[in-house]
Amino acid sequence: MQAFPRKFWPTLAMFLALAVTFVVYVDSEKHIDRANELRHLSLLRAGQLRQSSYDLTQMARSYVVTGEPLYKKYYQDILDIRDGKKSRPPGYLYSYWDMVLAGTQSPPATEGEAIPLLDLMRQTGFTEEELRHLALAKANSDALAAIEFEAMKLVESAGPDAAANRSRALQMMHDAAYLQAKAAIVRPINEAYKLMDQRTVDRIRSAERQAVMFRIMFIACVFGALLVLWQAYVALRKILGGSADEVRAQMRRIGQGDLSSIIAITPGMEDTVLADLLAMQVRLKTIEAEREAAAHVLRQSERRFSTAFSSCPIAASIATVEGGRFIEANDNYERDFGWPRVDLIGKTSVEVGIWPDSATRQQWVNALTREGRLVDFETSWMHKNGQRRNVSISAEITQLDGKACILAYSADITPRKQVEQALIANRTRLRAVLDGVQNGVITITESGVIESLNQSAQQMFGYGADEVEGKNVSMLMPEPYSAAHDGYLESYRRSGIKKIIGRRTEVIARHKDGSTFPIELGVTETWLNDERIFIGSISDISFRRKAEAELRIAATAFESREGTIVTDANGVILRVNQAFVDSTGYSAEEVIGQTPKILKSGRHDAAFYAAMWDCIGRTGTWQGEIWDRRKNGEIYLKWLTISAVRGEEGSITHYVSTHHDITERKKAEERIQELAFFDSLTHLPNRTLLMDRLKQAMTVGNRNSSFGAVLFIDLDHFKTLNDTLGHDKGDLLLLQVAQRLSSSVREGDTVARLGGDEFVVVLGNLNKTSQEAASQTEAVGEKILAVLGKLYQLGDIDYRSSASIGATLFRGHETSIDDLLKQADLAMYKSKATGRNALHFFDPAMQTVVIERAALEVGLRRAIEGQQLVLHYQAQVVGDGQVMGAEALVRWQHPERGMISPAEFIPLAEETGLILPLGEWVLDTVCSQLASWAAQTGMAHLTVAVNVSAQQFRDSDFVHKVLAILNKRGANPSRLKLELTESLLVDNVEDIIEKMFALKAKGVGFALDDFGTGYSSLSYLKRLPLDQLKIDQSFVRDILVDPNDAAIARTVVALAQSLGLGVIAEGVETEAQRALLASSGCHVYQGYFFSRPLPLASFEEFVRRG
């Protein structure tokens, strides 16, 4: 059986070798192609050097003959491109300067690579010897260029000798010396050409020889593969022991159960598949014999079951599940229930009257069917004599001759039930007695199972009797008592040693809710019906334990860390603790018998103490801060609590006071207060305190009808200072600014720091007329600008700064605090906008602009959510008007203002971030429409362009969102074109390119909108997976009258064609514009000449109308 695997691996190896030789052979063919391409490129480079020399001669002679400056310019361009001083245009290999006619064709574009021709040849692979000849030719060409420049200079001379000079120049360009110099250029070029020709031909021949060799190897591998396949086939036949058809026929016969014909095996076939089939055939015959033996054993088992069934000591029967018809019953039915066996067989249990009714039996059958087996199911049957008997049935469902039957064993338990009822009656009487006992009483069996518990125990543990009876008593004990209980019972049964029986013991019990409580337990034992019973008497001692604990707590509390004094009703000190001694310096002996007056600091007057004792008299307690004196004379602040203790008759018997030193805490609170209301750097009021001071100033102004002012001050270029000199220098500047501001205002005015470089000055109690108040405010503002503009010394650095100030007046509470700060802030930004270092007062027009802008923002949010946005479609046409697509343009149909221009709300959307949901809505709507058009004749070919903002495209989830929308709407990605602006390419270009390629891979198209108006780099442009450039309408508008616009349009078309891109012009409004664009090579248009942006229905009608 190992022969086939041994053949398999050589076969696999041969096929791998075949694949490898095929790959190498294909690669050798590619080597031939590359050698041919290198030869072709080398011939072009060599020809270009020869051609450039010829072109230089043609340009120089043309200039000498005609004097046309364009030929001289072309002459210089040829020299500059050859010497690498000017960029090499695309397709320069195929440009021939002698084909350029003056005035009829522009020179080639110069956006290509700038590289000397000899360096380009070196990159192509020219050898050093070849380059030496070419360098000689180039040097001779430079010498010839000197002659040509001299001739052109003669032509340019003026005066009486101009004609003679022109004649001399013509002679110089055609004499023998010129022709010899020309030949000196061509000869080394030809030498280099021959060397290059031989080298490239040799390389091609070498590659061809390699290809032939690998072709032969590949053919050899093919024949080898055929050989190993044949060997594998022979090995497989040996393994099978015959043909595959023979093996299959034997397997089918065995599968059909035909074991009569033995498979013939000849010598040498022992290790074959046919031999294995023979072994399986023999094994199956053995299994068949074993099955027959098992059937014989089963028949014997059935006979034994019949004997056991008949001799069962209780009534046994077999009946059908459906109807309960008896199939078999033993003779005990007559003994227990009076029914002879012959009267039962063939009848149902309901017919003979064993079950009172069919419904009762059906309930039992249903329960048996659910469980499959029931043990000791108790019910009642009818005896043949009419008596009702209690019966216990154990039954299970079994199969008999393929039919579901019930095998049941039934015992008459009527005597036992009578005894149980008597016991229940006795226990009921006992429970009534126990429920009248105050203590809890629980009875448990010898194995620890709860038999009963009285009402007191139920209340104590929180359980009802039905919740615990029949369960182990350990459920009423927490760990470790619960785990140890069963072990204690077992030990007691074995040894008889009593640990808790006959004595009272305190243990911990567990309530139903999981809490624990202490109990006092007494256990006695007794015997009932030959069974040992334990009776537990339980008392809840929680209140006793609590009282004991409170006594301990009181003793511990007296020795706590708080100083404690106990006095009598007259205030005479009876006792102090150690904490009192430690905090006051007085010993217990020094103060007992004295009154607490010895601790007085003298800082509180008699009224303070009178109020204290009045509070104690009314409420029984007083607490608060109080200054006291230690023994050493030090005065300290403490928190004192005094409580009156009353006797049983209600009169005061003692006073207890506790105190602790709060001096340090008070200092900390003062520090916290400072941090809460003052700036941590400048120690000026912070925003919280500013609000309070401003509120007070408004209240004062309201009271005396005077104006106040708020000045919002922002330092100019503070961020630059932080970024360049560091935050430590910034902090120094803020400290000096705070000092200068504080010195610039009156004592009652407020200077606050809001944070960063923002300060606020509140001027209160100004003049009662707004004009005078404004003048006062302006004077203060000018003073602040002057003082803040002075030189600052920031360590070793001299620094000058300025500030922008916004001011607003207020009187009373006419304007809210928040609105005042907003007004001053708006005025400050006005100062920033007008050049900084200035003061501006708030103008309501500022607020109007802000309110209108805010309202527009709210409205735009509602528009996006409330379907106020609609799309209009402007057709994009080919040639004379065939519609090939459209640009989707969003419009806002405001419910009150009507149609709002995109120029008004798109910039707002950009600033507020609403451009993201807006752009997503446009994409979703367009994709939905594309999916709809795909099923409509005449519309399925349309492509829709969607403008995508830079902010939207830079969204990290943009690609996923576009693909998700396309997938959700079922739109064809190739029908969606995203229009990007050049501003997108200002930064993070690599991320932009990556996203574009991800969408391009799914079929989405791209157009560069407004091309020529932005910042795009041509180096990036050639890397972008664009489909189309869009000529901006600003160039199209004046294309007929402005030559610059026309030249730009032609340049964009030429650039698009060189990059293999489409081009579309937008803003086409006249036939003349279309015709000029068409003559420049642009044949796709968009503009009012063809169609305005139209609503969906109108656009569809326009397309169908053609």
Q: Is the pLDDT of residue 849 over 70?
A: no
Band of pLDDT at residue 487, cut at 50, 70 and 90:
confident
Q: Looking at the structure, tell me whether residues 961 and 816 fall in a common domain.
A: no
Place of tokens 């009012």: 1088
Q: Looking at the structure, tell me whether residues 386 and 526 fall in a common domain.
A: no
Residue 890: which H helix or E strand, with range?
strand 882-894
Q: Looking at the structure, tell me whether residues 951 and 885 fall in a common domain.
A: yes
Domain boundary among 211, 242, 265: 211
Residue 760 lies in a domain: yes
Q: Looking at the structure, tell me whether residues 697 and 812 fall in a common domain.
A: yes
Residue 255 lies in a domain: no
Residue 421 lies in a domain: no
Q: Looking at the structure, tell me whether residues 328 and 407 fall in a common domain.
A: yes
Q: Looking at the structure, tell me whether residues 631 and 540 fall in a common domain.
A: no
CB atoms inside a 10 Å sphere around CB 461: 24
Residue 258 lies in a domain: no
Q: Looking at the structure, tell me whether residues 958 and 978 fall in a common domain.
A: yes
- State the Cα angle at 202 between 200 and 207, rounded to 5°: 95
What is d(CA 760, CA 994) in angstroms, rounded to the nearest whole number? 48
Q: Is the pLDDT of residue 740 over 80?
A: yes
| pLDDT tens profile 135-167 | 888 888 888 888 888 888 888 887 788 888 888
Q: For the CA atoms of 371, 374, 377, 381, what is the dihedral angle to 10 degrees? A: 100
* 834-864 as b/e: b if 16+ CB within 10 A: eeebbbbbbeeebeeeeeeeeebbebbeebb
Give the pLDDT of residue 1067.
93
What is d(CA 897, CA 914) in angstroms, rounded to the nearest whole number? 20
Residue 933 lies in a domain: yes
Q: Do 517 and 509 meet the contact criterion of CB atoms below 8 Å apart?
A: yes
Total number of domains constituting the chain: 6
Give the pLDDT of residue 793.
93
| pLDDT tens profile 267-314 | 777 677 777 777 776 777 777 777 777 666 666 656 666 665 666 778
In this prediction, residues 226-231 reach a mean pLDDT of 78
Residue 595 sits in a domain whose CATH number is 3.30.450.20
Residue 222 lies in a domain: no
Domain boundary among 813, 842, 871: 842
Q: Looking at the structure, tell me whether residues 817 and 905 fall in a common domain.
A: no
CB atoms inside a 10 Å sphere around CB 993: 15
Q: Looking at the structure, tell me whether residues 371 and 477 fall in a common domain.
A: no
Residue 419 lies in a domain: no
Q: Looking at the structure, tell me whether residues 714 and 625 fall in a common domain.
A: no
Residue 342 lies in a domain: yes
| pLDDT tens profile 1035-1092 | 899 999 888 888 889 989 998 888 889 999 999 999 999 999 999 999 999 999 999 9
- Single pTM value for the model: 0.36
Residue 935 sits in a domain whose CATH number is 3.20.20.450
Minimum mean pLDDT among 503-512, 825-834, 980-989: which range?
980-989
Q: Looking at the structure, tell me whether residues 486 and 518 fall in a common domain.
A: yes
HEC-encoded secondary structure of 670-694: HHHHHHHHECCCCCCECHHHHHHHH
Q: Looking at the structure, tell me whether residues 740 and 613 fall in a common domain.
A: no
Domain span holding position 102: 24-211
| pLDDT tens profile 340-364 | 877 778 788 777 778 777 777 788 8
Least Cα distance to 920 among 853, 966, 987, 862 occurs for 966
Q: Looking at the chain, how many residues does it have?
A: 1106
Domain boundary among 517, 545, 573: 545
